[in-house]
Amino acid sequence: MSQYLDPEENTPLLKDDSSRVDFLQDDDYKSRWRSIRVMYFTMFLSSVGFTIVITSLWPYLQKIDDSATASFLGWVVAAYSLGQMLASPLFGFWSNHRPRREPLACSILINFAANIYYSYVYLPPSENKYHMLVARALVGFGAGNVAVVRSYVAGATSLKERTSAMANMSACQAMGFILGPGLQAGLSFIGEKGVQLNVIDLQLNMYTAPALLAALFAVVNILLVVFVLREHHVDDHGKRIRAINYGSEEQLDLIQEIQGEIDQIAVLTSNILFFIIMFIFAVFETIATPLSMDMFSWTRKDAVLYNGVILSCIGFESILVFLAVKFLSQKIGDRPVLLGGLVIIFCGFFVLLPWGNNYPQIKWADLQNDTVNHRTIPLAFASNSSLEPTGCPAEQTWCQYTPAIHLAQFISADVLIGVGYPACNVMSYTIYSKILGSKPQGVYMGWLTASGSGARTLGPVFVSQVYTNLGPRWAFSLICGVVLVAVLLLVALYRKLIPFSVRHGRIQE
């Protein structure tokens, strides 16, 4: 019996099956899975780095620079995705030609420095908002290492192991998105004033403490990458590929040994599908708060609280979906799971379409003219009233003729999208990694990550414009159309989205 037989695809989250046969429990196997777990942790910290300050960005920005506007906040939020979009192909290219430990260590070091920078953006005497913009862009640039993480896990697992490993990695990413806001909330007890550390000229408060904690996580991460991570590369059968001497003829010989060309149509299709999936979720997370405030007359405080609870529940739901996908894809295959996920997302947005004879409460009383500055200001700030006006803003004319979305519709859509999105997310780059086969995947994974980052940048801009000007009926109808395009594209090129080894006849599908 060969020592390279594929292990069964029933790896528990973050653990390999302790009942595996003895010949697999050699040092190389253990080292390989230790390294993969380091990648899980790196992916977890990448998502924590994004979310750990996200709820405090706006008050921190207002505190350090009173000239900052809500529109500038949009640029600060988008800066993370833009930085990641630029960095992903660069780190991916680097990982193809040098040991992957190098781009990982460099990116984590950038992330560490960027979080320290973020903690000191209040120090410059002016233009503090631009310092915050640069700091968040650098944090995103450091997060471009997810392309290297995905390419490493894809190259270190067999076809049978890969779906399970990718699901585990996605679950770690989801846990990071859940834990990040929780850590921010836990550190809020420090308060706005906090403690002044004169020795290092640092004001430790509820805004700077989360970034400093993220920097500490980066230190732990870089130590694991340097001292635990090892280079491992196996083929689609799980057979170890000999070590690469980077930058030499040996590396070129190894690449040439992997016969066959990558299907570029399948690569392009996978990138388009991933862009659409990330675009859809970016739209969903952007529109949730304003939609709920308009339709249910929630106050700002209620909207933050209730949507925070809902997003946390969706996060936990996603982890269950990631675990279920590991087994479901083994039974019916990766492509049917991806197709089913897209159909469920379509149903989720279709449920959100307004209908009936009930209309949202109009926020007529929230506007008052400021005759001195010739502008319109909220009445709640212009008067002594402590009541916050709620409802659908009168300046959104569609509020007067578009039926209200019911709370049951909103919750149902949340549940459906919470099932469909994680299934599509993990299946899209699992299929992509299998299409690429055993060839170096760094650059290709970089483009995939860049397409997702681009979607997360464009999605909020798209939905904010369409929703504000045309209303939810147009916004969600267009999203349903986009999802339908993704379904038709997947169906049309279904037979192209197959593993590299299957395409070249080395493995039976």
- 247 Ramachandran zone, left/alpha/beta (phi>0; psi -120 to 50): left
Q: What is the mean pLDDT of the chain?
A: 79
Residues 283 and 350 in one domain: yes
- 181/280 same-domain check: no
H-run or E-run covering 314: helix 300-332
200 and 72 inside one domain: yes
What pLDDT score was predicted for residue 153?
Answer: 87
Examine residue 6 and state whether it is found in any structural domain, yes or no. Answer: no
CA dist., res. 110 & res. 106, Å (int): 6
**Tokens 């405030």, residue?**
293
In a domain, 337, yes or no: yes
CA distance 389 to 370: 17
Nearest by Cα to 344 from 432, 274, 253, 412: 412
pLDDT at 252: 42
Q: Flag whether pLDDT at 55 surpasses 60.
A: yes
| Residue 12 belongs to some domain of the structure | no
Residue 173 has pLDDT above 50, yes or no: yes
Task: Give the pLDDT confidence score for residue 381 in this predicted structure.
Answer: 38
Q: Do 246 and 283 lie in a common domain?
A: no
> How many angstroms separate the CA atoms of 235 and 125, rounded?
56
Q: Is the pLDDT of residue 290 over 70?
A: yes
What's the confidence (pLDDT) of residue 366?
44
Task: Give the global pTM.
Answer: 0.71
Considering the domain architecture, whether residues 286 and 221 belong to the same structural domain is answered as no
Q: What is the pLDDT of residue 347?
A: 95
The reply to whether 15 falls in a domain is: no
> Which tops the pLDDT comparison, 470 or 461?
470
Same domain, 29 and 132: yes
pLDDT tens, position by position, 8-41? 444 444 444 444 444 445 777 888 889 999 999 9
Let me know whether 371 and 264 are in one domain. no
- What's the pLDDT at 395? 80
Separation CA 374–CA 377 (nearest Å): 10
Does residue 192 belong to any structural domain of this protein? yes
Is a pLDDT exceeding 70 seen at residue 365?
A: no
- In which band, very low, low, confident or very high, does the pLDDT at 508 lie, cut at 50, 70 and 90? low
| C-alpha to C-alpha distance for 163 and 426, rounded to whole angstroms | 8
CB 479 within 8 A of CB 351: no
Give domain status of residue 412, yes or no. Answer: yes
In a domain, 145, yes or no: yes
| Whether residues 390 and 456 fall in one domain | no
As given in the structure block, the two tokens for residue 505 are 């006849």
Residues 86 and 225 occupy one common structural domain = yes
Between these two residues, 507 and 121, which has the higher pLDDT value?
121
Which of 399, 427, 447 terminates a domain? The answer is: 399
pLDDT confidence of residue 141: 92
At which of 220, 235, 256 does a domain end? Answer: 256
Which residue did the predictor score with more confidence, 57 or 333?
Answer: 333
Q: How many domains does the chain have?
A: 3
263 and 246 fall within a common domain: no
d(CA 14, CA 5): 21
> Do residues 215 and 281 share a domain?
no
Q: Is position 4 within any domain?
A: no
Question: Is pLDDT above 80 for 464?
Answer: no
What's the length of the chain? 509
Rounded mean pLDDT, 141-164: 84
Same domain, 299 and 420: yes
pLDDT, position 24: 45
Residue 286 belongs to what domain range? 258-360+402-509
Identify the domain boundary among 235, 256, 277: 256
Per residue in 407-445, pLDDT (tens digit) is 999 999 999 998 998 889 888 878 888 888 766 666 788
